[in-house]
Amino acid sequence: MSIPSLPCLHATRGGSSLLDVLVAPNAKRTACMGLHDGALRVRLAAPPVDGAANDALLRWVATELGVARGAVVLARGDTSKRKQLVIDAPPERVGAWLASLLGDSTSS
The pLDDT value recorded for residue 62 is: 98
Domain limits of the chain?
9-107
Question: What sign does the dihedral 96-101-104-108 (CA atoms) show?
Answer: negative
* CATH number of the 9-107 domain: 3.30.1200.10
CA–centroid distance for 12 within its chain: 15
pLDDT tens for 17-36 read: 999 999 999 999 999 999 99
For 28-70, write each residue's pLDDT tens digit: 999 999 999 999 999 999 999 999 999 999 999 999 999 999 9
- CA-wise closest residue to 8 among 78, 45, 71, 61: 61
| Whole-Å CA distances, 9 to 26, 46, 52, 104 | 25, 24, 24, 17
Query: What is the pLDDT confidence band of residue 104, given thresholds at 50, 70 and 90?
Result: low
Residues found in the chain: 108
